[in-house]
Amino acid sequence: DAGVTQSPTHLIKTRGQQVTLRCSPKSGHDTVSWYQQALGQGPQFIFQYYEEEERQRGNFPDRFSGHQFPNYSSELNVNALLLGDSALYLCASSLAGAERKNTEAFFGQGTRLTVV
């Protein structure tokens, strides 16, 4: 089991550019959540996707958007990059359903985005 995989591992972009980060969930999982972790901070929830729809969203501007594909993989897109968007972006997958309260979220190793 490959667990949660994210790509790329590192990325450097220029202010104003757009970026797409990718996440493949753990086998059998159908829900993907994205978090932003600034240096020295705890992760902050961006949004969650289930059944190809955004189900929950944190306090992030519309520049942050996402997508979930039929195979449950997901993309995080950030437009008009700002220096403050530099962070570690974490993807977490989990399983929805009747026992959703008892499922564990598994995290990937993240994508380190640097905006210059």
Partner 1 sequence: AQTVTQSQPEMSVQEAETVTLSCTYDTSESDYYLFWYKQPPSRQMILVIRQEAYKQQNATENRFSVNFQKAAKSFSLKISDSQLGDAAMYFCAYSTGGSNYKLTFGKGTLLTVNP
Element of type H or E holding 89: strand 87-94
Q: Which residue type occupies 65?
A: S
Nearer to partner 1, 8 or 16 (CB): 8
What is the spatial order of strands in the sheet that 5-7 belongs to? 5-7, 19-24, 74-78, 64-68
Contact flags string 47-76 toward partner 1, x per CB under 8 A: -x-------x-x------------------
Regarding 86 and contact with partner 1 (CB under 8 A), the answer is no
Residues binding partner 1 (CB under 8 A): 31, 33, 35, 40-45, 48, 56, 58, 88, 90, 92, 94-96, 100-105, 107-110, 112
